[in-house]
């Protein structure tokens, strides 16, 4: 468990689920990229450790492709500045990534921490070379393919990996925590919400909290996330809220909360809902 400056117990892992339709109402790709980048900033502010994009089917939009793009932009945002050109080489598909605001979390400001990001620069038949920067100097580290796979990484070059320099080993992104925060892991599940929630419940035991205007007011929900090791927050999209997406499967959630008891606007944008929920639950 992590303790903040007010000595309140904080969840060790903070997981956020967002739909693949996030920003589907934005037709300009530059603006869409910037808004996804703003979400990345909010996730960093709240020390979110894991972000999963679930598939929200849309008959008028390729939400699968958008889900993969959301994942790509969030991965770019969490990549330290000195690794961005290595992990995301310049291409036509990446031309808008430069518009997103910098995350400015501690692992992006300094490279002297005990747990840092690196990338796979070479994958040969037997070994993998991980390249990383520490105290502004570049180093190469050879590891086995077995070690890479054992820590939930794939056998490909130019992928982000986590290194624990104190223990001289790789760290699985599944083990990211809010203690010594270095950013978040992001993945596109390509599963509907029901299957996604089931997967997350297996990976991160703890309460799963849905957010909806039709949920219980936070004051009445009896939600005490500070007493749990992990917590997962689930958000709906711009065209369909969670009630519309899950239908009768409300039992997928341990709580369904409404964070705004006097909401004036008809809807909250996803990035607004994430920020407000983190703040209202005192998780920032």
The CATH number given to whatever domain includes residue 127 is 2.40.50
Task: Please name the residues in contact with 200: beta carbons below 8 A apart, sequence gap of 6 or more.
Answer: 15, 17, 52, 208, 232
Do residues 168 and 260 share a domain?
Answer: no
66/121 same-domain check: no
Residue 107 has a pLDDT of 94
Which residues sit opposite 95 in a β-bridge? none
Is residue 161 within 8 Å of 182, Cβ to Cβ? Answer: no
Q: Do 273 and 215 share a structural domain? A: yes
272: enclosing H helix or E strand = helix 270-280
- pLDDT attached to residue 124: 80
Structure tokens at 204: 């991160």
Contacts 24+ apart (CB under 8 A), 65-69: 66/20, 66/21, 66/22, 66/23, 66/24, 67/19, 67/20, 67/188, 67/190, 68/188, 69/36
Which pLDDT score, from 0 to 100, does residue 227 have?
46
pLDDT in tens, the chain (284 residues): 444 444 455 678 999 999 999 999 898 999 999 999 999 999 999 999 999 999 998 888 889 999 999 999 999 999 999 999 999 887 777 889 989 999 999 999 999 989 999 999 988 877 899 999 999 999 999 998 999 999 999 988 899 999 999 999 999 999 999 988 999 999 999 999 999 999 999 999 989 999 888 877 777 777 765 545 799 999 988 888 887 887 757 788 888 888 877 777 777 789 999 999 998 887 76
Question: Per the structure, how many domains does the chain have?
Answer: 2
275 and 192 part of one domain: yes
Q: Are residues 84 and 203 in the same domain?
A: yes
Q: Last residue of a domain, which of 173, 199, 215?
A: 173
Find the CATH number of the domain harbouring 75: 3.40.1280.10
Range of the domain at 143: 111-173
Instruction: Examine the domain organization and report whether 155 and 210 are in the same domain.
Output: no
Q: Is the dihedral of CA 74, 80, 84, 86 positive or negative?
A: negative
What is the reported pLDDT for 72?
95
Residues 150, 93, single domain; the answer is no
What Cα–Cα distance (Å) separates residue 246 from each residue in 10, 65, 187, 238? 29, 21, 21, 15
């Amino acid at each position: 468990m992590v303790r903040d400056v007010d000595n309140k117990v904080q969840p060790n892992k903070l997981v956020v689920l967002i739909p693949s339709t996030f920003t589907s109402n934005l037709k300009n790709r530059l603006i869409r990229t910037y808004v996804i980048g703003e979400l990345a900033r909010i996730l960093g502010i709240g020390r979110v450790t894991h972000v999963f994009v679930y598939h929200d089917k849309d008959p008028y939009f390729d939400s699968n492709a958008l889900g993969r793009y959301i994942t790509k932009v969030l991965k770019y945002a969490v990549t330290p500045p000195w690794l961005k050109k290595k992990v995301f080489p310049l291409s036509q598909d990446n031309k808008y990534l430069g518009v997103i605001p910098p995350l400015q979390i501690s692992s992006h400001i300094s490279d002297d921490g005990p747990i840092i990001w690196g990338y796979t620069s070479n994958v040969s038949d037997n070994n993998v070379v991980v390249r990383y920067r520490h105290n502004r100097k570049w180093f190469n580290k050879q590891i086995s393919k077995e070690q890479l796979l054992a820590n939930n990484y794939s056998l490909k070059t130019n992928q982000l990996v986590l290194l624990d320099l104190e223990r001289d080993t790789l760290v699985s992104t599944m083990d990211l925590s809010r203690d010594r925060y270095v950013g978040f892991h992001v993945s596109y599940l390509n599963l509907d919400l029901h299957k996604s929630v089931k997967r997350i419940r297996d990976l991160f035991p703890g309460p799963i909290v849905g957010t909806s205007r039709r949920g219980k007011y936070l004051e009445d929900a009896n939600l005490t996330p500070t007493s749990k090791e992990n917590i997962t927050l689930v958000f709906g999209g711009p065209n369909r809220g969670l009630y519309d997406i899950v239908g009768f499967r409300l039992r997928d959630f341990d709580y369904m909360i409404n964070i705004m008891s006097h909401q004036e606007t008809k809807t909250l944008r996803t990035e607004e809902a994430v920020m407000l929920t983190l703040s209202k639950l005192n998780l920032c």
